[in-house]
């Protein structure tokens, strides 16, 4: 029988995170221009990592896919 993962936040972890990340210090969201600048400056001969994603693959991504990456990066910084 499938038992779903318990995703109830652990109060101890929430408390520790609150100590190390005061709510007054909010990171600003990345912009698509910043992401495009990073992609543009990626070293073209850099070896791919374990995911086998190359610089050329990233540079050839359509605008909509770069926006999806941007949304993910901004979600990570919010959380």
- What pLDDT, on a 0 to 100 scale, did the predictor assign at position 78? 84
pLDDT of residue 33: 95
pLDDT digits (tens, 9 = 90+) for 13-43: 788 777 766 555 678 899 999 999 999 999 9
pTM, rounded to two decimals? 0.63
State residue 3's pLDDT score: 67
Q: What pLDDT sits at residue 9?
A: 78
For the chain, the straight-line distance linking the first and the last C-alpha, in angstroms and rounded, comes to 32
The tokens for 38 are 């990073």
- 8: left (phi > 0), else alpha (psi -120 to 50), else beta? beta
């Amino acid at each position: 029988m499938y038992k779903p993962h318990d995703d109830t936040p652990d109060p101890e972890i929430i408390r520790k995170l609150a100590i190390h990340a005061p709510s007054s210090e909010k990171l600003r969201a990345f912009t698509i221009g910043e992401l495009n600048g990073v992609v543009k400056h990626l070293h073209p001969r850099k070896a791919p990592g374990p995911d086998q994603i190359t610089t050329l693959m990233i540079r050839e991504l359509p605008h909509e896919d770069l926006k999806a990456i941007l949304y993910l990066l901004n979600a990570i910084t919010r959380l």
